[in-house]
Amino acid sequence: MESIVVAAGRPHEPGAPLSVPPLLNATFRSAHDGTNAYLRNESSDSVRAFEQAVGALEGGTAIAFASGMAAIAAVVEGLPSGSTVVGPVAAYSGTISLLAEQQRLGRATVRSVDITDTDAVIAALPGADLLWVEALTNPLLGVPDLPALFDAARTAGVLVGVDATFATPVALRALDLGADVVMHSATKFLGGHSDLLMGVLVVRAPDLADSLTARRRLAGAMPGALECFLALRGVRTLAVRMERAQANAIELAVRLAAHPAVTRVRYPGLPSDPGHERASRQQSGFGAVISFEVTGAAGDAERACQRVELITHATSLGGVESIIERRARYDIDAAAGCPPTLLRLSVGIEHVDDLWADLTQALAELPSLTDGDPVRS
C-alpha cells in the first residue's frame, strides 16, 4: 500500500511527465472518425489518473465524483423507485438527510438501524435492496461487524455500500471483506489538505461500474481536473500522513481518557473501546478521528472549541491540520443521538505534544470530574 500510493496512476511512456497534469478543459475537438468528447460525459486523463490510484488501493474499479455526497447519491438515487434501504441511525448527517429525502419523496423506504448491532441489521435485511454502512461511523466512531454484515447481505441478496471515509484505504480494504461498493469522501483523508471537494466509489462488478458511471454522467457529477490533480497529489502521502496521524490519535486518546474534564473517549484504538476487538480483526489501523465527551454543558464544550489555537475549530476532517467540532451543534446529529458535549477531533500530523498542550489549555476551564461523578466509560 505504501508503494501503491506513490506509484499508481502515473504515465509510463518515455518522455511523459511523472504526474498527469491537470487538464483544465471541458470541450475536445471533434475528430473526423466521429470521436467527440466533453468532460462531463467522457472524463479525462486527470480524472482517470486519480481513479487508477484509488482503484489500485481498494482493489477495484474507481469512479471519481465531484463530492462525497455526489458519490453516495449515485448509489442511493440509482436504486429503482420503491426500493428499501437499510441504513444507520447515526451516521454522517448528509447521508441521513439524503436517505430521509428519498423517503420523503416516496422513492425509498428507509429502515434505520444501529449498524453496530449485528442482529438488528440482519433482522432488517429481508426484502431490502441496499445496506449502507459507515466504517467507522461519523461521529460516534462505532465499528460495524463488516464480515458478518456482508455475509448476511449476500445471503439476503442485498447490495452493500460502505462509506470508508474514516477508515481510509490504509486501514480497511472493504471489497476484500465482501462489500459491493466502497465510498470515500476524498475531501477528507485522500485529499488530505482541506483544499478540495471530491468523492469516489470503488466496485468490482463491471455492470455496477457501468451503471454508476452512467449515474455520474446523468447527474453531472464529474469532478474537475484540478481537484483530481490535487487529490492524487494528496494520495501520494496518504500512507505517511496516516501513520503519523494515527500514532498521534492513539496517544491523544490515551491522554484524553485520563483527563479530569473528559467523561468518555470513543476511539477504537483504545483497548477499552467497545469496537476495539472488531476493529482489530477487520482493520489494519484505527483511523485518526477521536470523539470525546467533556464535563459541563453544551455551552462549555462549545467554548472549549473556541479556545483552541493550534487546532482549528471547523467542520470537516482528514487534513494534515487537526480540526475540532461539537457535532451536536447540528440538530440532525443531536437527533441521531450525538451527546451534547461530544467533540469530534480529526487528528492531524502536528507534533503530538503541541496538540496535547493546546487541548489541555482549551479544556482547562471545564469542571473536573470529582469522586462523586459517574465512573468514566
Active centre residues (catalytic): 40, 92, 163, 188
Q: Is 163 in the site for ligand PLP (CB under 6 A)?
A: yes
* Residues 178 and 150: beta-carbon distance below 8 Å: yes
Return the number of the residue (165 or 263) whose C-beta is nearest ligand PLP.
165
Q: How far apart are CA 121 and CA 177, in angstroms?
A: 17
Count the site residues for ligand PLP by CB under 6 A.
15
Q: Is 348 in the site for ligand PLP (CB under 6 A)?
A: no
Which whole-number Å values give the CA distances from 90 to 87, 113, 115, 264, 364, in the listed order? 9, 8, 8, 18, 30
* Residues 27-56, interacting with ligand PLP (CB under 6 A): none
> Of 7-15, 62-70, 153-161, 206-214, which part binds ligand PLP (CB under 6 A)?
62-70
Question: Three cell numbers at 230?
Answer: 490535487
| Minimum gap (Å) between residue 223 Cβ and ligand PLP | 10
Return the number of the residue (259 or 327) whose C-beta is nearest ligand PLP.
327
Return the number of the residue (159 or 221) whose C-beta is nearest ligand PLP.
221
Q: What are phi and psi of 27, to 5 degrees?
A: -115, 140
Return the number of the residue (259 or 326) whose C-beta is nearest ligand PLP.
326
> Of 65-73, 114-122, 214-222, 333-341, which part binds ligand PLP (CB under 6 A)?
65-73
Q: How far apart are CA 181 and CA 186, in angstroms?
A: 15
Q: How far apart are CA 128 and CA 143, in angstroms?
A: 22
Out of 50, 92, 132, 292, the only residue in the binding site for ligand PLP (CB under 6 A) is 92
Q: What are phi and psi of 290, to 5 degrees?
A: -120, 135
Return the number of the residue (300 or 325) whose C-beta is nearest ligand PLP.
325
> Of 80-88, 163-171, 265-273, 293-301, which part binds ligand PLP (CB under 6 A)?
163-171
Out of 94, 120, 217, 303, the only residue in the binding site for ligand PLP (CB under 6 A) is 94
| Minimum gap (Å) between residue 15 Cβ and ligand PLP | 36
| Minimum gap (Å) between residue 276 Cβ and ligand PLP | 20
Q: How far apart are CA 90 and CA 166, in angstroms?
A: 14
Return the number of the residue (94 or 274) whose C-beta is nearest ligand PLP.
94
* Residues 97 and 42: beta-carbon distance below 8 Å: no
DSSP state of 294: E
| Minimum gap (Å) between residue 151 Cβ and ligand PLP | 24
| Minimum gap (Å) between residue 228 Cβ and ligand PLP | 14
Q: Quote the strand ranges of the chain, DSSP E.
A: 61-65, 83-88, 108-113, 130-134, 159-163, 181-185, 199-203, 262-266, 289-294, 312-313, 323-326, 342-346
Return the number of the residue (92 or 229) whose C-beta is nearest ligand PLP.
92
Ordered strands of the 199-203 beta sheet: 61-65, 199-203, 181-185, 159-163, 130-134, 83-88, 108-113
Q: Is 138 in the site for ligand PLP (CB under 6 A)?
A: yes
Cis before 223 (ω within 30)? no
Out of 60, 68, 285, 287, the only residue in the binding site for ligand PLP (CB under 6 A) is 68
Q: Is 345 in the site for ligand PLP (CB under 6 A)?
A: no
Exposure string of 317-332, with b = 16+ CB inside 10 Å and e = fewer, is: bbbebbbbbbbbeeee
- Determine the residue type at 333: D
> Of 47-55, 159-167, 240-248, 325-333, which part binds ligand PLP (CB under 6 A)?
159-167
Q: Is 67 in the site for ligand PLP (CB under 6 A)?
A: yes
> Of 64-72, 224-232, 345-353, 358-366, which part binds ligand PLP (CB under 6 A)?
64-72
Paired strand residues for 29:
none
Which parts of this chain interact with ligand PLP (CB under 6 A)?
A: 67-69, 92, 94, 134, 138, 163, 165-166, 185, 187, 197, 199, 316
